[in-house]
Amino acid sequence: MHARMTRFQGPVSSLEESIRIATQEAIPAAAGLPGYRGALFLVDRESGKLATLSLWESEEALRESDRTVARWRQQAADAGRVDIIAAERYEVVMTDLTISASDG
């Protein structure tokens, strides 16, 4: 499995719009891409920091999604008035998730 970690920074006042974009637009759209296996969306409400971690079944699936996700990432940053700090790829060497959407 592979992952893409994208970090954003913006004004605290734009967090709710960023959360709306992620939960109602970006993550549902990514779910339709080949090899997509899920995502986490992380927010620090005090600092205005946000991060997404998307999971992909293979390095190939991750790389094939790069162009599409880069376009969405920029659109989301513009709409949410946040800056893109970094977008990085990782190999997932271990997972231990026992959460569900209802836990959030």
Residue whose entry in the numeric block shows the structure tokens 């995502």: 39
Return the SS3 of 54.
strand
pTM for the full model? Answer: 0.84
Question: Which CATH number covers residue 74?
Answer: 3.30.70.100
How high is the pLDDT of residue 22? 84
Cα dihedral value 19, 21, 25, 27, nearest 10:
-40
Give the single-character DSSP code of 13. Answer: G
Range of the domain at 11: 2-103
pLDDT tens for each residue of the chain, 104 residues long: 999 999 999 999 888 888 888 888 888 889 999 999 999 989 999 999 999 999 999 999 999 999 999 988 888 888 878 899 999 999 999 988 887 665 55
How high is the pLDDT of residue 78? 86
Q: Looking at the 3D structure of the chain, how many domains does it have? A: 1
> Alpha helices of the chain — where are they, by DSSP H?
15-21, 27-30, 59-80
How high is the pLDDT of residue 104? 52
